Amino acid sequence: MTAGLRSALPPALVLLGLALLMEAAKAAGLLPITVPAPTQVLAVIPAQFADLVYHGAATLRSALLGYLCAGLVAGALASVALRFHGAERPIISFGLLVDCFPLIALAPIFVIWLGQGMLLHVTLSAIASFFPLLLGTVKGFRATDASTRQLFHVMAATPMQRLRLLSVPAALPYIFQAMKIAAPLALLGALIAEWIGAERGLGAMMIYALFSFNVPVVWLTILTVCGLSALAYGLIALVESRVITWEVRGDAGGTDG
């Protein structure tokens, strides 16, 4: 619990500090009309709350599904890379390529293929979160030393046993690390997809508020996405602290917060 709390604390403090700063700046007349004071944003919450939940749920669902799909594909590809050594470089290159495409430019093309429904949102969310998950899993699978692999060879472990008893546990710290990085990206992917066209979702709410020049609501949606990202990160960190109870060597350890 404390570890999860501790990892959620820094982003929360940063947000709070920023809010205070903005409040002061707004009061001093330093901020343009497009930037409201945090209290103005807070003031619209009661009226917007039902909408926020309605749209937020859709975004969360898309992001979660996209994240899961990305995780499954990343896990499968990483397993292939683990089994066939020569496949590792092409697989990483593929992941990098997917990651390098500018999502905003890609989104309209995907609309043509997938329409504007949830399929689009899930797909873009998956694309946005794919690469860190892939890289983390591949790297994690490699985090075993030669003599431990030889030990499994001497014990005549089957490939499945090797995966279950060695590669997966060794990779877990790296996978959690990647999951924490990828969760906000999945939300961002869903958000971008919703901008392009959606009836429901925080992205749609944001665009609608933008076009009706409802500045506080625009900011409210932005802050909601921030909050959800921080929450997702914190939740994963919490699970991580429960699962990784051993001392982790190498560059996967001690990166909480």
Partner 1 sequence: MSDITLSDVGMMFDIGHRKITALRGIDAVLPSGSFTALIGPSGCGKSTLLRLIADVLAPTSGEIRIGDHAPDAARKRHEIGFVFQDPTLLPWRSVVENIRLPVEVAGQPAARQPEELVELVGLKGFEQARPAQLSGGMQQRVAIARALALSPKVLLMDEPFGALDEITRQKMNIELLNIWRETGTTAVLVTHSISEAVFMADRVLVLSANPGQVADRIDIDLPRPRALDLMQDPAFHAHENAVRAALFSGERTAA
As measured in angstroms, the least distance from the Cβ of 85 to partner 1 is: 17
How far is 183 from 67, CA to CA, in rounded Å? 7
As measured in angstroms, the least distance from the Cβ of 165 to partner 1 is: 7
Interface of this chain with partner 1, residues 6 to 35, rule: CB under 8 A: none
Interface of this chain with partner 1, residues 109 to 148, rule: CB under 8 A: 145, 147-148
Helix (H) or strand (E) holding 176: helix 168-196
Among 28, 100, 105, 154, interactor with partner 1 by CB under 8 A: 154
As measured in angstroms, the least distance from the Cβ of 162 to partner 1 is: 9
How far is 141 from 171, CA to CA, in rounded Å? 5
Which of 37-45, 100-108, 212-220, 242-250 is the region at the interface with partner 1 (rule: CB under 8 A)? 242-250
Determine, following the binding rule CB under 8 A, whether residue 153 of this chain makes contact with partner 1. yes
Determine, following the binding rule CB under 8 A, whether residue 245 of this chain makes contact with partner 1. yes
- For residue 2, count CB atoms less than 10 angstroms from its CB and return exposed for 0-12, middle for 13-18, buried for 19 or more: exposed
Interface of this chain with partner 1, residues 169 to 188, rule: CB under 8 A: 169, 172
Determine, following the binding rule CB under 8 A, whether residue 2 of this chain makes contact with partner 1. no
Are 173 and 252 contacting, i.e. CB atoms less than 8 angstroms apart?
yes
Tokens found for residue 125: 């969310």
As measured in angstroms, the least distance from the Cβ of 135 to partner 1 is: 22
How far is 210 from 82, CA to CA, in rounded Å? 47
Considering beta carbons, is residue 59 or 167 the nearer one to partner 1? 167
Are 195 and 207 contacting, i.e. CB atoms less than 8 angstroms apart?
yes
Q: What is the torsion angle, in degrees rounded to the nearest 10, for the CA atoms of residue 254, residue 165, residue 70 and residue 237?
A: -30
Among 155, 159, 212, 254, interactor with partner 1 by CB under 8 A: 155
**Left (φ > 0), alpha (ψ -120 to 50) or beta: where does 256 sit?**
beta
Considering beta carbons, is residue 39 or 161 the nearer one to partner 1? 161
Which residues would be at the binding site for partner 1 (CB under 8 A)? 145, 147-148, 150-157, 161, 165-166, 169, 172, 245-249
